[in-house]
Amino acid sequence: MKECDVSIVIPSLNECESLGKIIMDTFTAIRNIDKSVEVIVVDDGSNDDTELELSRLQQSEPDLIVIAHRTNLGKARSLMDGFAVASGKYIGFIDADYQFHPSDFPTLIDALDQCKCDFANGVRIIREDPKGKKIASRIFNILNGVLFRNTDVADWNSGIKVMRSEIAKSFVLCEGDHRLLVAIASIGGFKVKGYRVHHTERQFGTSKYGGIRLLTGPFDLLALKVKELMGKRPFTIFGLFGSLMIVIGMILGLILVYEQQMLGQLIGERPLLILVVLLEIFGFQMFIFGYLAEKLKELEILVGPRVKGEVKKSVYEDAD
């Protein structure tokens, strides 16, 4: 595969109405700043005319690459598959619905060229979305800011971003993690900055946004924070909780001994005795888990990072 300056991934699910426009405008915007570019569209199990539209576009645009999923695997998996085949020095992505504008790519790319950051994140100053979606996103951004204070970016879930190749190819994303890319890059030690971008109302297709995000979003953030803490010193976390359980168990145990020896009370059938035993057992188990996790962390450092990502190349054939 030939190398290029910029690779842009476009994850798509039933967005055939806007695909042609956003693909060609992306080529135009980046070629206008004298950068070689490839566009990688990941069709995530669409059941509209996406296949026909992409086949038509591939006939006239040799730098258009298509990856097709036989079924819907989610945006996170689509981004990973696109990042895996990308050959650009910089790798970015944009939503396929054309609410974000390819004309903003030069601003984000220039930030990387000028070494202002490693990860340029588009920030919507004026957001043209339904009120409920705005409120949910605002809550999500506030939680992000509380849990990851070292990342000064206002719009975490923006649908247009550009980053250095090594960042994109290091991502191992679970379902929903596409909303956490800013935090993941920041945890990895990369410099993330936000830049103003345009945002318009959806003109094509239908929104894939669902109310379930209100429930899963905060849990995804907490899971990432726990993963960050565990990844640094797992024995510290396990040891802290283990010590707390053991100390509480010892205090309750001393209370029971006092009641038996000094007050003459029977403690053999009391639930508190069972709680003491469980606290001591679980406390020592936490210590063991922490020790094993620490050894696994040391092994990971010695062996080095594992190969990340899995590519599924199912490329559309030409229409003829």
25 shares a domain with 103: yes
- Strand ranges in the chain using DSSP code E only, listed in sequence order: 4-12, 37-44, 64-69, 88-94, 119-124, 160-164, 192-197
> What pLDDT shows up at residue 150?
58
Is residue 24 very low, low, confident or very high in pLDDT (cuts 50, 70, 90)?
very high
79 shares a domain with 192: yes
260 shares a domain with 150: no
- Helix or strand or coil: residue 90? strand
In a domain, 74, yes or no: yes
184 shares a domain with 48: yes
pLDDT (tens digit per residue) in 117-157 = 999 999 988 776 666 666 666 766 677 666 676 566 777 78
Count of other CB atoms within 10 angstroms of residue 28:
12
In a domain, 317, yes or no: no
Q: How many domains does the chain have?
A: 2
237 shares a domain with 207: no
188 shares a domain with 95: yes
Averaged pLDDT score across all residues of the chain: 83
In a domain, 310, yes or no: no
pLDDT (tens digit per residue) in 235-255 = 777 888 888 999 999 999 898
Domain with 217 in it:
4-230
Please identify, among 207, 230, 253, the residue that sits at the C-terminal boundary of a domain. Answer: 230
In a domain, 114, yes or no: yes
25 shares a domain with 62: yes
pLDDT (tens digit per residue) in 276-300 = 999 999 999 988 888 887 777 667 6
Look up the CATH number of the domain holding residue 201.
Answer: 3.90.550.10
Count of other CB atoms within 10 angstroms of residue 151:
20
| pLDDT of 205 strictly over 80 | no
In a domain, 107, yes or no: yes
